């Protein structure tokens, strides 16, 4: 009898250890107050009828500390690379007889050129498209009215003028 209970205890312990891995489960209760505001908490609300609260079973993952550490390390490396790139651009500008301000001006010019290309592509799309839409709150397309399309085209032309200096 002791052997059977020892084996059962071992199996139970193994099952608990296996289930305690990456995910855990808990209950969250949702209820709506008299003003119509929904509330969420980990236990049924006090002073209210328990049938008014809806229990929701949620599963969540524990934070993977190794993944967080790796992500932080990668962000730090990217910041270091960005700093090195800026130093190299300043050194290139100095070697070409320019100053760090010249390197900044060149960077601004590149950004303006890229912004100009993006604005022109958007204006071209707006001028040639028969129907324009924007994503709705539910993810579906909400088509623009004729007045909204005209306003979007005017804004696109204005963006081209701002970015491209036209």
Render pLDDT for 60-113 as a digit per residue (tens, 0 to 9): 666 777 778 888 888 888 888 888 888 777 777 666 666 667 777 888 888 888
The answer to which of 29-33, 114-118, 143-147 has the lowest mean pLDDT is 29-33
For 145, residues 6+ apart whose C-beta sits below 8 A from its C-beta are none
* Beta carbons of 38 and 71 less than 8 angstroms apart: no
- For residue 21, pLDDT over 50 is answered with no
Burial class (CB in 10 A: 0-12, 13-18, 19+), 74: exposed
What's the distance, CA 12 to chain centroid? 41
- The pTM assigned to this predicted structure is 0.40
């Amino acid at each position: 009898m002791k052997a059977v209970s020892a084996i059962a205890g071992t199996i139970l312990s193994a099952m608990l250890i296996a289930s305690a891995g990456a995910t855990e489960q808990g209950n969250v209760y949702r209820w709506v107050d008299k003003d119509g505001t929904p509330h969420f908490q980990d236990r049924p609300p006090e002073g209210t009828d328990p049938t008014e609260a809806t229990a929701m079973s949620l599963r969540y993952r524990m934070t993977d500390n190794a993944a967080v550490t790796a992500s932080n390390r990668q962000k730090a490396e990217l910041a270091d690379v960005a700093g090195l790139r800026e130093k190299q651009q300043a050194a290139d500008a100095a070697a070409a007889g320019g100053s760090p301000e010249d390197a900044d001006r060149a960077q601004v010019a590149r950004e303006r050129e890229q912004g100009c290309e993006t604005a022109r592509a958007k204006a071209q799309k707006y001028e040639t498209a028969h129907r324009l839409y924007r994503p709705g709150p539910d993810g579906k397309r909400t088509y623009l009215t004729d007045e909204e399309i005209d306003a979007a085209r005017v804004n696109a032309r204005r963006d081209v003028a701002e970015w491209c200096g036209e």
